[in-house]
Chain A
């Protein structure tokens, strides 16, 4: 199967059902006379699947959700988006950057999949994470931001990443513009500004760059509007949740000490 078949529009006539497999996530969409019916499940062992079956048998032992379908509406398309909250990644081990240094990281971010209907995929039926990420907190117990935690780590080389069909590679550059050394324990990726692109071999996102100015200073994060140069013939297979802004002043690093009291 070609890499882009998964993300192409599909026609599902009345009474038919299609099935998609995107890594651990399996989705079935059935077009009945009046409704769209959708169900899904995850098999975390199956990480390398990327299939589409145009004529699938709808499973019966699962919970289905229904949407009222417009007449003559038979076209369905998957769109890839990034998680709906910022996502935290750790380097394999804490990395220290000296003043003035910059470093490139590669992070494999798991996708969320939107099921869209209509001639131009204008209506979204539902949105499903390919894997359910654990919650995490970026900040102090008094103030901070609810995020997702990734189990995979940020790598310095792209070939160190396990490239999976349900993960998009986000190239992320960190610059230490402060006068002190910067020890990176966790990186907060503002995934809401990222677009997913389909490259020749795998999925990419637009690259990001964050500049650290000092311990008590806000960091400036910049997300590019274009795919990375390393992606060959990339084209977008989804839209970002928020359009990239020119420069986002944000906290992107952390040296958090949890307060433990028993």
Chain B
């Protein structure tokens, strides 16, 4: 019996070596696929990005690049699994079931994904725009399928999910090429308002960062607690915000000082009518300069 078994074993070809070699070849193929395929798709994505840059918007070029890289990587993975002997039909069937489960689990991600597509399609923001979202302000660093990344002015990185942006109100500060800067100014009640308006318009006229068209405007906003309130509205190219802000403030102050226009501090008047006691007053003798100087040694 033992002899018979040994005879049969000898009669069959020894496949273990062949199988091992086959596996090694498959593994090598998979390695080659992964090592060459993934970088190749990345390079292709970069090439497409460079080709599209300047022709389409930055986020469209970035989206095209990501679609190429992710699709290519998925393709390489599927080919690698097939090479390793996985049956794709079984895998796809399983993926369908898994997809339903993942769909329930990843509702937020899918919502972000769809919101991201709407953001790319609607283009309310572009890379490089400055946006205000809630308490956050920053420059749009990238627009991805799930989120928008901001770089704040103090160089922090902030990620905002696309769904939040779609659902809430945000302000794109740099959407239009020019903006208006509104500066609230208070002057003392004794001042001639029309003269102050002329001074402000002259300051705006002399500042090179202030656009002469659309023209600057001064609005008399009303009577404040301590001051007559005016608003100077000046238009500027969006890149000149800091330069205009710093220069115009200094120039307004300098012009007011030169023309003797008073910028008042808050005034409080204490009423001492008939229903209140008079203010106590103490009369003190005048102090001469000599008496205040220290005695000589």
| Interchain CB contact under 8 A, B177 and A143 | yes
Contacting residue for B208 out of A132, A137, A143, A262, CB 8 A: A132
| Interchain CB contact under 8 A, A149 and B213 | yes
Chain B, 132-191, CB within 8 A of any chain A CB? 176-178
C-alpha spacing A133/B207, complex, angstroms: 9
Contacting residue for A258 out of B207, B208, B215, B219, CB 8 A: B215
- CB of A136 within 8 A of chain B? yes
| Interchain CB contact under 8 A, A137 and B178 | yes
Chain B, 198-246, CB within 8 A of any chain A CB? 205-215, 217, 219, 231, 233, 235-237, 240
Chain B, 231-269, CB within 8 A of any chain A CB? 231, 233, 235-237, 240
Q: Count of A residues near B, CB < 8 Å?
A: 20
C-alpha spacing A135/B179, complex, angstroms: 13
- B224: shortest Cβ distance to chain A, in Å? 16
Q: Which residues of B contact A135 (CB under 8 A)?
A: 208-212, 236-237, 240
Q: Which residues of A contact B219 (CB under 8 A)?
A: 262
The residue in chain A whose Cβ has the minimal distance to the Cβ of B214 is A258
| Interchain CB contact under 8 A, A88 and B213 | yes
- CB of A141 within 8 A of chain B? yes
- CB of A134 within 8 A of chain B? yes
Chain A, 118-176, CB within 8 A of any chain B CB? 132-138, 141-144, 146, 149
Q: Which residues of A contact B205 (CB under 8 A)?
A: 134
Give the residue among A134, A135, A258, A262 with the most B Cβ atoms within 10 A: A135
| Interchain CB contact under 8 A, B231 and A262 | yes
C-alpha spacing A163/B278, complex, angstroms: 72
Give the residue among B210, B211, B235, B237 with the most A Cβ atoms within 10 A: B211
Q: Which residues of B contact A141 (CB under 8 A)?
A: 176, 178, 214, 235
Known: A137-B214, A149-B212, A260-B217. A142 touches B176 (CB 8 A): yes
| Interchain CB contact under 8 A, A146 and B213 | no
Q: Which residues of A contact B208 (CB under 8 A)?
A: 132-135
- B173: shortest Cβ distance to chain A, in Å? 14
Q: Which residues of B contact A133 (CB under 8 A)?
A: 208
C-alpha spacing A135/B240, complex, angstroms: 10
C-alpha spacing A191/B235, complex, angstroms: 23
- CB of A251 within 8 A of chain B? no
Q: Which of under 10, 10 to 19, 20 to 34, or 35 or more describes the interface residues of B?
A: 20 to 34
- CB of A186 within 8 A of chain B? yes
Known: A137-B178, A141-B178. A186 touches B213 (CB 8 A): yes
- B127: shortest Cβ distance to chain A, in Å? 20
Q: CB-defined interface of A223-262 with B at 8 Å, one 1/0 digit per residue?
A: 0000000000000000000000000000000001011101
| Interchain CB contact under 8 A, B207 and A134 | yes
Q: Which residues of A contact B212 (CB under 8 A)?
A: 134-136, 149
Known: A143-B177, A146-B177, A260-B217. A134 touches B235 (CB 8 A): no
- A249: shortest Cβ distance to chain B, in Å? 21
Q: CB-defined interface of A75-100 with B at 8 Å, one 1/0 digit per residue?
A: 00000000000001000000000000
The residue in chain B whose Cβ has the minimal distance to the Cβ of A186 is B213
C-alpha spacing A19/B22, complex, angstroms: 84
C-alpha spacing A218/B214, complex, angstroms: 22
Q: Which residues of A contact B214 (CB under 8 A)?
A: 137, 141, 256, 258-260
Q: Which residues of A contact B233 (CB under 8 A)?
A: 260, 262
C-alpha spacing A135/B244, complex, angstroms: 11
C-alpha spacing A136/B240, complex, angstroms: 12
- B113: shortest Cβ distance to chain A, in Å? 31
| Interchain CB contact under 8 A, A146 and B237 | yes
Q: Which residues of A contact B178 (CB under 8 A)?
A: 137, 141, 144, 146
| Interchain CB contact under 8 A, A137 and B235 | yes
Q: Which residues of B contact A88 (CB under 8 A)?
A: 213
C-alpha spacing A142/B176, complex, angstroms: 5
Give the residue among B178, B205, B213, B236 with the most A Cβ atoms within 10 A: B213
- A108: shortest Cβ distance to chain B, in Å? 17
C-alpha spacing A143/B176, complex, angstroms: 7
- B112: shortest Cβ distance to chain A, in Å? 30
- B200: shortest Cβ distance to chain A, in Å? 15
Q: Which residues of B contact A260 (CB under 8 A)?
A: 214, 217, 233
- A73: shortest Cβ distance to chain B, in Å? 34
- A10: shortest Cβ distance to chain B, in Å? 30
The residue in chain A whose Cβ has the minimal distance to the Cβ of B237 is A146
Q: Which residues of A contact B176 (CB under 8 A)?
A: 141-142
Q: Which residues of A contact B207 (CB under 8 A)?
A: 134
16 more CB-based (< 8 A) A-B contacts, given A137-B211, A138-B213: A134-B207, A134-B211, A134-B212, A135-B209, A135-B210, A135-B237, A135-B240, A136-B213, A137-B213, A137-B214, A141-B235, A144-B178, A149-B213, A186-B213, A258-B213, A260-B214
Q: Which 5 A-B pairs have the closest CB atoms?
A: A258-B214, A149-B212, A136-B212, A134-B208, A137-B211
Interface residues of A (CB under 8 A from B): 88, 132-138, 141-144, 146, 149, 186, 256, 258-260, 262
Q: List 11 A-B contacts (CB under 8 A).
A: A88-B213, A134-B207, A134-B212, A135-B236, A137-B177, A143-B177, A144-B177, A186-B213, A259-B214, A260-B214, A260-B233
